[in-house]
Amino acid sequence: MSGLNLISVALAVITLSLVLVTINTLLITYQKVEKIHVTEKHLDHAYRSLEDYYTRHNKYPCPSSIEAPIDTPTFGVAASDCGVSSAGITTFLDADGSFVAAGAIPFRTLGLSDEKAFDSYKKRLLYTVSVDYTSDSDTSSRKAGIRILDREGDDVMESGQKAIYTLVAFNTEDRGAYSTNGALLSSCGDGGSADFFSKNCDNDNIFVHSPKTVDEGDDKYVSKLRFKSERACANTRTTPEKVAILLDSSMSMTKQLTKDGQKVCPEAIKKIAGGNCSKLDMAMWILNRVMFQRIHQVSDVEDSTTGFANFPMLKYDWKGGKSMSRTKLQTKMNERGVEVSDEKDVVKLLYTICPILGTPIGEYLEEMVHRIGDGTPDNPNVITIITDGKHTSKKKNPNDVAKYVVKPNYPNLRVNVIDLESVSGIRKTAEITGGKYVQVSDLNSFLEELTESIGGCAGSSETTIPDQPYCQKVEDLIFE
Asked if 42 contacts 125 with a C-beta cutoff of 8 angstroms, the reply is: yes
Q: What is the rounded distance in angstroms from the CA atom of residue 410 to the CA atom of residue 420?
A: 27
Vertex 370: Cα angle to 367 and 373 (nearest 5): 140
Other C-beta atoms lying within 10 Å of the C-beta of residue 347: 23
pLDDT of residue 238: 67
Residues 6+ apart with CB under 8 A from 250: 311, 355, 356, 357, 358, 359, 388, 389, 392
Contact (Cβ atoms closer than 8 angstroms) between residue 202 and residue 227? no
Distance CA 416, CA 480 (A): 34
Predicted confidence at residue 21, as pLDDT, reads 65
Which of 199, 169, 126, 144 is CA-nearest to residue 459? 144
pTM higher than the cut 0.85: no
Say what the pLDDT of residue 232 is: 45
* pLDDT in the model for residue 253: 85
- Domains, the chain, ranges and CATH? 41-229 (no CATH), 242-476 (3.40.50.410)
In angstroms, rounded to a whole number, what is the distance separating the alpha carbons of residues 325 and 268? 29
How would you write the pLDDT of the chain (480 residues) with one tens digit per residue?
566 667 777 777 777 777 776 666 656 555 566 677 788 788 878 887 888 788 778 889 999 999 999 989 999 999 999 988 899 999 988 777 889 999 999 999 998 888 888 988 899 999 999 999 998 877 777 888 888 887 777 777 766 678 899 998 887 888 888 999 999 998 887 655 556 667 777 777 888 876 443 334 444 435 678 888 775 444 445 678 788 888 888 888 888 877 777 777 777 777 676 667 888 888 888 888 787 667 655 544 455 566 666 654 433 233 222 222 333 333 322 222 333 334 555 566 677 778 877 778 888 888 888 888 898 898 899 999 988 876 666 678 899 999 999 999 999 999 999 988 776 678 899 999 999 998 887 777 788 888 888 777 654 555 656 777 777 765 555 544
